[in-house]
Amino acid sequence: MEAWFMIVVSVCVCVLIRGILFCLHTKTKTFPNPPGPLHIPFISSFLWLPKSFSELEPILRPLLAKHGPIFTVHIGPRPAIFIADRALAHQALVQNGAVFSDRPVLLPLIKARKRIKERGLLNDDVVGFAVA
Cα distance between residue 63 and residue 45, in whole Å: 17
Do 75 and 48 reside in the same domain of the chain? yes
Do 26 and 85 reside in the same domain of the chain? yes
In which domain, by residue range, is 54 found?
Answer: 2-105
Do 98 and 47 reside in the same domain of the chain? yes
Residue (of 127, 31, 113) closest to 79 by Cα position: 31
Q: Is the pTM of this model over 0.85?
A: no
Do 99 and 111 reside in the same domain of the chain? no
> Which residues are bridge partners to 65 per DSSP?
none
How many structural domains are present in the chain? 2
Distances (CA, A) of 17 to 20, 22, 46, 98: 5, 9, 35, 37
Do 82 and 119 reside in the same domain of the chain? no
Q: Which amino acid is at 95?
A: Q
Max CA distance (Å), the chain: 82
Under the banding of pLDDT at 50, 70 and 90, the label for residue 29 is low
Do 37 and 59 reside in the same domain of the chain? yes
pLDDT over 70 at 104, yes or no? no
CA dihedral 38, 42, 47, 48 (to 10 degrees): 100
Looking at 1-132, list the stretches that DSSP marks H as alpha helix, in order from N- to C-terminal side. 2-27, 41-48, 56-67, 86-90, 107-131
Do 110 and 74 reside in the same domain of the chain? no
Do 63 and 124 reside in the same domain of the chain? no
pLDDT over 50 at 98, yes or no? yes
Do 66 and 16 reside in the same domain of the chain? yes
Under the banding of pLDDT at 50, 70 and 90, the label for residue 66 is very high
